[in-house]
Amino acid sequence: MRLARSQLSARPLSNTSAPQDTMAGRLNHIAIAVPNLQQATDKFKAILGVHVSSPHALPEHGVTVAFVELPNTKLELLEPTGDDSPIANFLKKNPLGGMHHMCIEVGNVLGAVDRLTTHGVRVIDPKPKIGAHGNPVVFLHPKELSGVLTEFEQV
C-alpha cells in the first residue's frame, strides 16, 4: 500500500547534531545565491560582524562557495562559476541573488532517498553527489516542501 505524503512516519527532532536514521535532523545551512561572492562576503562580515570562510570552488556543482558562520547554523554563499551553473540560471531570474535552498542533516542519505521515493517524494537525482562539506548530498524537488529546494546532507 502506498502512503500519502501526509501519512509519512515522523519523529521529533533529536537534540543531537547527527540523526541516527533516515529522518530529518538539524538545519545545516541556508544557501544564498549571490552574483559576486567577494562583495557578498564583505557585506556579511561588515553588517553581521561574523566570520566568513575562504572561498572554495566546487566545479562539479558549478559554484564557488563561502560559509558565513553563525552560532546555530551556517549561511552558504553560492556564486556561479559559469553560464551553465544552476546558480547562474537562478540569478537570471533573481539578479540581486536570494535564498536558493535549505540543507537538512540526515544520518543515512541513501536510506532517506529509499524511504522518500517509496512514498512518492520526488528526489531530483537519487544518486548522491559530494557536497561542499565533503559529504554525500541529494536534493528534493522544490514542490515537495512548499516551493523550497531542500538538500539532505549525510552527517
Please report the pLDDT score of residue 23 as a whole number. 86
- The per-residue pLDDT for range 90-105, each reduced to its tens digit, is 999 999 999 999 999 9
d(C-alpha 67, C-alpha 83), whole Å: 22
Residues 6+ apart with CB under 8 A from 119: 2, 3, 5, 8
> In the chain, what percentage of residues exceed pLDDT 90?
85
The secondary structure of residue 146, as a DSSP letter, is T
Q: Which of 89, 78, 82, 85 is nearest to 55 (CA)?
A: 78
- The per-residue pLDDT for range 43-91, each reduced to its tens digit, is 999 999 999 999 999 999 999 999 999 999 999 999 999 999 999 999 9
d(C-alpha 146, C-alpha 141), whole Å: 10
Average pLDDT, the chain: 89
* Predicted model pTM: 0.85
CATH homologous superfamily of 24-154 equals 2,3-Dihydroxybiphenyl 1,2-Dioxygenase, domain 1 (3.10.180.10)
